[in-house]
Amino acid sequence: MAEIQVDVQARRFQERIDAEVRIEPKDWMPDAYRKTLIRQISQHAHSEIIGMQPEGGWITRAPSLRRKLILLSKVQDEGGHGLYLYSAAETLGASRASMIDALHSGRAKYSSIFNYPALTWADIGAIGWLVDSAAIVNQVPLQRCSFGPYARAMVRICKEESFHQRQGYEIMYTLATGSADQKAMAQDALNRWWWPSLMMFGPSDADSAHSSQSMAWKIKRFSNDELRQKFIDQAVPQADILGLEVPDTELAWDEQTQHYRYGAIDWDEFNRVVRGDGPCNRQRLAEHKRVHEAGAWVREAVVAYDRKHQDQSDV
Ligand code: 3HC
């Protein structure tokens, strides 16, 4: 009897998904739907928080007070994005401690892009321009994700990402139209961040383990390759305006498809970085662990305060 009931619930669930009815935390959902959402949302949150490191390291080295204020604001936004996303994952029953433990133990991932070093000030421009553009291309469709809390978190996050992208592109424009050395610094940053930005969209559709199910459940609205292509089609003209060259000798506009054809992505590099052997993987995780431990007293104080005031209100 119980099996038939679950089948009926699963069929009703898919009918709601197909009818574009938002799924809320208290609604019945297949365990696998819950599990893949906790996986994706928590890894999205980890990415936001770890992503604060490469940019945070440049706040004290920003070339002007204005740039420092903008970068401070952006890094603070990323921290807030992480907290929204952890909260969205918690509505599915995942605890913050278990998600952080999964990150620290290596069971959970974060975006490969944040395992590359930010070597010069131009990297801060390239990250804002390319990485945040890629994030926007990936996150705008997530505003229509079937799971309510995730979709709603994306609405605010996407608004803030557009400021992130614009400040990055402004840095690149300033450098690309500055001295020859500044333009060379901008080109060097584009050379190092272009291909890792394409890898942000995940493996090719043929190698994507989750895409077909995530698209059937309307978590994902477009495939990895569709979003990657959308990003390339918008970023190449932006590079042209900067007078910078995209580091892909096979890049060419295809009149027939109305898309850019592009060269082969180095999937060995992608898999190496995702496996933990990227330029900064160990440093990023060690820093997250260090700061998490250093902040334990804050979490303990908040819990003690809550407990004390809870007891008082129970009196
Ligand atoms: N880095 C690390 N792991 C990646 C990856 C990447 N760039 N791309 C894919 N993977 C992992 C997946 O997590 C999955 O592993 P898992 O089963 O252990 O979770 C495996 O590779 C197979 O990939 P799939 O395509 O099958 O996985 P998904 O269907 O989950 O698609 C995704 C991957 C497109 C990243 C999707 O998870 C997604 O859209 N996530 C939400 C957006 C996100 O996380 N963005 C990360 C950047 S956040 C950011 O840029 C912040 C901005 O403010 C700068």
Q: How far apart are the first and last CA of the chain?
A: 47
> Angle at the Cα of 274 (from 273 to 277), degrees rounded to 5?
40
Atom of ligand 1 nearest to the CA of 139: 42
In the predicted structure, residue 131 carries a pLDDT above the cut 90? yes
pLDDT in the model for residue 3: 66
253 strand-pairing partners = 260
Residue nearest to atom 33 of ligand 1 (CA): 202
Average pLDDT over residues 77-93: 97
Q: Is the CB of 203 under 6 A from ligand 1?
A: yes
State whether the beta carbon of 78 lies less than 6 angstroms from ligand 1.
yes
* pLDDT band, residue 130 (cuts 50/70/90): very high
Ligand 1: nearest atom to the Cα of 108: 18
Residue with the nearest Cα to atom 12 of ligand 1?
202
- What is the structure's pLDDT at 2? 65
281 ligand 1 Cβ < 6 A = no
Higher pLDDT, 312 or 95: 95
pLDDT band, very low/low/confident/very high, at 41 (cuts 50, 70, 90): very high
Per-residue pLDDT tens digits for 10-20 = 999 999 999 99
Question: Does pLDDT of 311 surpass 90?
Answer: no
* Atom number of ligand 1 nearest to Cα 210: 26
Mean pLDDT of 167-189: 98
pLDDT in tens, 215-263: 999 999 999 999 999 999 999 999 999 999 999 999 999 999 999 999 9
At 309, the pLDDT band (50, 70, 90 cuts) reads confident
Closest atom, ligand 1, to C-alpha of 161: 53
The number of C-alpha atoms within 13 Å of 271 and in the hemisphere containing its C-beta is: 6
Q: What is the residue-averaged pLDDT of the chain?
A: 96
Given a cut of 90, is residue 310 above it in pLDDT?
no
Whole-number pLDDT of residue 187: 98
Give the model confidence (pLDDT) of 49-80 as tens digits: 999 999 999 999 999 999 999 999 999 999 99
For the cut 80, the answer to whether the pLDDT of residue 315 exceeds it is no
Measured distance CA(121)–CA(140) in Å, rounded: 28
184: how many CB neighbours lie within 10 A of its CB? 13
Residue 301 pLDDT more than 90? yes
Mean of pLDDT values over 109-119: 98
State the distance from the centre of ligand 1 to the C-alpha of 210, rounded, in angstroms: 10
Q: What is the pLDDT of residue 1?
A: 58
Q: For 91-105, what is each residue's pLDDT tens digit? A: 999 999 999 999 999
